[in-house]
Amino acid sequence: MVGLIGEKLGMTQLFDQDGRLYPVTVIKAGPCHVIQRKTVEKDGYDAVQLGFMQCDKKKINKPLTGHFDKHDSEAYKVIKEFRLHQYKNIEQGEELNIDMFRENELITIHGISKGKGYAGVMKRHGFRGFKATHGVHESYRGPGSIGQCATPGHVAKGRKLPGHKGVERVTVKNMKIIKVDLEKNLIFINGAVPGHRHSIVLLKKAQF
């Protein structure tokens, strides 16, 4: 598959010709520059490395500066890699734009969810909690029993417990494109997209 790197700008609403309202997420996608083309012969797999948000080379570290110089590329704030199962004719130095997407097309979007801070098991995992009567006290929102007695005598790995919620990679499939603005590089997605405003998201075409 191939796709673009984008920046989530926020949400708004659009109306179609029949007057139906669509809540949409606005994403500024591309243009993305192909920094490096990876092949099976040289790297063991087919992929393209894309750059998004061009910046001054003085603002990046030396390893990245060397990487950009090696591939005769400008410096970019965001670098992401896309595996290629199709469209293998893409070469280094090309520029990918939003014109690869069409209205009413279904795509896959990857994003980083909003951070919610420290949360208990009811908010973090959806536990129902305990009764507020019949002898229950001091543990209305607790997780309940979390381990065994003497054997094995420890809490099992992976137990759902309180902790940090959010800031996780979230993938949403079959997101419908409502509108594509080629002049402003904007794409309007039906529904909510993971992440806060101005966060980086990946838009991928469906795999064939």
In this predicted model, what pLDDT tens digit does every residue of 5-47 receive, in sequence order? Answer: 999 999 999 998 888 899 999 999 978 999 988 888 888 888 8
Let me know whether 106 and 139 are in one domain: no
**C-alpha angle 149/146/128, rounded to 5°?**
145
What is the b/e burial string over 86-98, where b = at least 16 CB atoms within 10 angstroms of the residue's CB?
eeeebeeeeebeb
Tell me, yes or no, whether 52 and 131 share the same domain.
no
Domain count, the chain: 2
Tell whether 92 and 55 lie within a shared domain.
yes
Three-state DSSP class for 100?
Answer: helix
Average pLDDT of the chain, as a whole number: 89
In tens, the pLDDT along 105-143 reads: 999 999 999 999 999 999 999 999 998 889 888 889 989
**Residues 112 and 69 grouped into a single domain:** yes
Residues 86 and 17 in one domain: yes
47, 137: one domain: no
Name the amino acid, one letter, at 124: R
Whether residues 16 and 73 fall in one domain: yes
User: In terms of domains, do 71 and 13 share one?
Assistant: yes
Q: Please give the residue range of the domain that contains residue 138.
A: 119-165
Query: 8: part of which helix (H) or strand (E)?
Result: strand 3-15
Residue pointed to by tokens 């009764």 = 131
* Rounded Cα gap, residues 137 and 130, in angstroms: 9
Residues 21 and 74 in one domain: yes
